[in-house]
Amino acid sequence: MVNTLKSLTSYTQVKFIIITNSPHVIDEILYQTRSWPSTHQAKASFELVPLKYPEGFQDFKNLFRPCSALRLFLPTLLPDENAVIYMDSDVILLRPLEEFWGFFAEMGDKQAAAGVSFVPGYNKRPQV
């Protein structure tokens, strides 16, 4: 995960919002980022948000891995953010994130975009 974070700071200033119920996760991230070049460190800020599913959606935590289904609830978890890019921890950026952010300028306030790959046996649907 730290390599993903570092690849983001190669190009741009980034606010990382870490959603977890384990405070030691952010401590570990901060510890590992100390070895980054100062140019990367200066471009990163971190915020910890408690892992919490909205009322009535507790069954969603069993859809994927523990935090993965939370991406469905980012507007609820991050009400002060007007746009969010959710990335898995195995993503490495090869171009500036601003190029991707540019797509948001072309979208209305009720639109969302996503890209996924299908992995047989991994993607499950909730029993509602």
What's the pLDDT tens digit per position in 73-115? 888 888 898 878 887 777 777 778 778 777 777 777 777 666 6
Task: Tell whether pTM > 0.85.
Answer: no
CB 13 within 8 A of CB 96: no
Q: Is the pLDDT of residue 65 over 80?
A: no
E strand or H helix at 40? helix 38-41
Q: Is the pLDDT of residue 57 over 80?
A: yes
User: How far from 19 is each of 93, 98, 109, 120, CA to CA, in Å?
Assistant: 21, 22, 23, 27
Beta carbons within 10 angstroms of residue 6's beta carbon: 20
CB 44 within 8 A of CB 16: yes
pLDDT of residue 1: 66
Q: How far apart are CA 85 and CA 77, in angstroms?
A: 14
Q: Is the pLDDT of residue 43 over 60?
A: yes
